[in-house]
Amino acid sequence: MDAATTISPAVLILLGPPGAGKGTQARMLEEKFGLVQLSTGDLLRDAVAAGTDAGNAAKAVMEAGDLVSDGIVIAILRDRMAEPDCAKGVILDGFPRTTVQAEALDGLLASSDQKINAAISLEVEDAEMVTRISGRYTCAGCGEGYHDTYKQPVEDGKCDKCGHTEFKRRADDNAETVASRLTAYHAQTAPLIDYYQAQGVLKGIDAMGQIDDIARDLHGIVGEVMD
């Protein structure tokens, strides 16, 4: 490679409904490739806490009970991506959510000669996702995770890890709520799938298998686009 050639930081987008494993896979990508996961919620909280111009603007909007505008989110994202730890690239989780946001993101990246390297869709089966999420529960003592179908305590009613006998479920981990969230996700994300497919950067991953198998496929895609 020519000494004068510079490589722009990679920009990856992870698409997938709640429970598809985006967080788990993003952490594994961070470790393997030196990327930084950026989620909209964390970005907003950090910018507000840091008192940046964009963070102060977001704080004023949120305190008024309004939704933070795309322009403010883009400004916060621009500031964060300029930090030294993002030099190798970032994984965007939760943004963009609409084609308007996707177009704004393209504009931001173009201003620094960057682009979307890949928009990776973690593809799941809705019926299986309802079973996967609605069956989750945790030990009330240590937080160890269990599942009605896939992982029950060895001794019925007793946590394998700490021996506690009380368990709890998240209020929104029920079949109706999960199905509703999946419907909303598909309605919101379908235009993004088309948008990134038209750009030639959309990649699909079967996310119904084992975590390590999904990671292997995902790492193969990321390795290719980062070369």
Could you say which of 78, 88, 97, 169 is catalytic?
Answer: 97
Per-residue pLDDT, averaged over 193-221, amounts to 93
Using N-to-C axis directions, what is the helix angle for 175-199 and 99-110, rounded to 10°? Answer: 40
Q: What is the pLDDT of residues 154-163, one digit of tens each?
A: 999 999 999 9
132 among known catalytic residues? no
Could you say which of 78, 88, 136, 169 is catalytic?
Answer: 136
Q: What is the pLDDT of residues 65-93, one digit of tens each?
A: 888 899 999 999 999 999 999 999 999 98
32 among known catalytic residues? no
Q: Which residue has the tokens 């890890």?
A: 161
DSSP state of 119: E
Closest by CA to 124, choosing from 39, 14, 3, is: 14
* Kind of pairing between the strands at 167-168 and 136-139: antiparallel
97 among known catalytic residues? yes
Could you say which of 78, 88, 169, 181 is catalytic?
Answer: 181
pLDDT at 1: 41
